[in-house]
Structure 1
Amino acid sequence: NPRREQRQMFFDMVEGYGIPLITKSWKTFRPDLWESDEKEWRDEYGKEIRRLTKPYGIDLGILAGYMLWMDDETCREYDMLNLHPALPNGPKGTWQEVIWQLIREGADRQGAMLHLCTPEWDRGAPLTYCGFSIRGEGYDGLWEDLEAKLEDRTLEDIARTEGVDEPLFKKIREDGAKRELPLIVETIRSFADGRVRIQDKQLIVGGKRLDTAFDLSEEVDRSLGE
């Protein structure tokens, strides 16, 4: 099982650095409750996670690959960031929905952001982000090819038949996906170095509250050698 092997590699790496490793499988936690009341299950699972992590203290949580909704109390008690594959003012939804919406709008830029987890799902304030152009070299020809296809087909038909293999879609996804991990790393670095912090669920930079997300595009591009 490749996923199991990757998970074990991650566990080994964490323990190799001497970092406490805590695991709690959601798949095996109260399956009876999951079937009958998903919200109550989420509350109970969150309570168990808080019990397990409380002895260590949490300055910042990153929901990396966590595809479930977090319970309200954990969102209130911990400062946690969630990755979203769009710019702060970009589309909502899954990465597939985001990219098709960008194409539909004829957008010029795409990116990724980390936003604060709140009880109101996907409504937390954006904290950090990175962006990149989806025009110019490597892109203009793909936009032109798409325009040619749209002369006798709808975008919905192209999305249905070509899906994630549509060349423009694929290029946007590749350039966005490769920035997601560097964005997480640079965000953690910014918090660890004291450049930014969270106070009362607000982003503080240089001792002042920042009303917009903190732009890490330069740092992310540098880490990619761009």
Structure 2
Amino acid sequence: MLKIGWFSTGTGPGSRRLLSDFCSRTTDKSVDAGISFVFSNRNPNEYEETDKLFKLIHSYNLPLETLSRKNFRTETEESNTHKFDRSAYDREVLKLISKYDVDVIILAGYMLIVSSVLSNTYHMINLHPALPDGPKGTWREVIKDVIKHQSLSTGTMMHLVTEDVDRGPCVTFSECDLRDLWVAYKAGNLEASDLFNQIRARQFSQEPVLMFETISSIADGKIDLDELTYLHNGVAMPLPKCLTESVSMHLG
């Protein structure tokens, strides 16, 4: 079985949706994968939205580990530098999670940048709301960039975590067409706020499906994270693997 570590900050309903969707899809055992633990950079009773995620985690009887980024301080920080020591924080995270046997760690709405302390220890895959080589940043920042450049398409990708933020090797991606939205917007039939929201809705609908399809392919041995290849008709091909058609079929 593919053993998964799950990292999430739990800032809103999107994080809960990713977890609940994955857990519901794996209940029938059609995919040989399961979550070994969940880690959050927030502690219980720190944020109301994150507590909702914790409640969901407990409902699935999943082990939960937490380490508050808000309360984390090091000797360096306390000596008037006030600079967050990401590596020191991740070393403490590593102490918490090293007792779990995992094959891959999924970043599903994890809002901290991961240091090499973790990314050099585990295969870590991040869900990012853009196409390969697309905009960096949060989903809000990405959509603003998409609108600024009037991009005709956008999408979602899962990429390996490296020190190059949002630029690690892409594993899978799914593309969504935006041309109809631009036609409606330029014709005056769509307000700017509606354009923003509808772009997000299209990305949002892809995310849990792309994540599940990616994990399924890793569990089935169709994606090799060490060799950065995927199987196509029995032949190893270089990543990334385009899952647009598969995701679209699931979404109907």
Shorter chain as normaliser: what TM range?
Answer: 0.7 to 0.9
Q: Is the 8 A contact 2:229 2:239 kept in 1?
A: no
1:10 maps to which residue? 56
2:229 paired with 1:204: yes
Counterpart of 1:203, as a letter, is L
2:69 maps to which residue? 26
Quickly say closer, same or farther: Cα 1:93–1:3, change in 2 above 3 A: closer
**Separation in 1, partners of 2:98, 2:236:** 28
Question: Over the residues paired in the alignment, what is the CA RMSD in angstroms?
Answer: 2.7
2:102 maps to which residue? 58
Counterpart of 1:187, as a letter, is T
Quickly say closer, same or farther: Cα 1:117–1:12, change in 2 above 3 A: same
1:38 maps to which residue? 83
Which 5+ residue runs of structure 1 have no aligned equivalent?
A: 148-161
1:144 maps to which residue? 187
SS in structure 2 at match of 1:56: coil
1:88 maps to which residue? 132
2:118 paired with 1:74: yes
Deviation at 1:117? 0.7
Counterpart of 1:9, as a letter, is K
| 1:134-213 aligned within 5 A | 134-136=178-180, 140-145=183-188, 166-199=193-226, 202-206=227-231, 210-213=237-240
Q: Is the 8 A contact 1:130 1:216 kept in 2?
A: yes
2:179 paired with 1:127: no
2:93 paired with 1:49: yes
**Separation in 2, partners of 1:63, 1:198:** 16
SS in structure 1 at match of 2:69: coil
Counterpart of 1:110, as a letter, is T
Q: Is the 8 A contact 2:133 2:167 kept in 1?
A: no
**Separation in 2, partners of 1:216, 1:140:** 26
Deviations 1:128-157 (A, max 9, x none): 111111123x6521243289xxxxxxxxxx
With normalisation by structure 1, the TM-score equals: 0.76
Q: Is the 8 A contact 1:197 1:204 kept in 2?
A: yes
Deviation at 1:210? 4.0
Which 5+ residue runs of structure 2 have no aligned equivalent?
A: 1-46
**Separation in 2, partners of 1:223, 1:32:** 50
| Structure having the larger proportion of residues in strand | 2
Q: Is the 8 A contact 1:111 1:129 kept in 2?
A: yes
1:216 maps to which residue? 243
Taking only the aligned residue pairs, the percentage that are identical comes to 35
Q: Is the 8 A contact 1:14 1:21 kept in 2?
A: no
| Structure having the larger proportion of residues in helix | 1
Q: Rg larger in 1 or in 2?
A: 1
Quickly say closer, same or farther: Cα 1:11–1:106, change in 2 above 3 A: closer
With normalisation by structure 2, the TM-score equals: 0.69
Quickly say closer, same or farther: Cα 1:210–1:47, change in 2 above 3 A: farther
SS in structure 2 at match of 1:55: coil
**Separation in 2, partners of 1:6, 1:212:** 36
**Separation in 2, partners of 1:57, 1:209:** 27
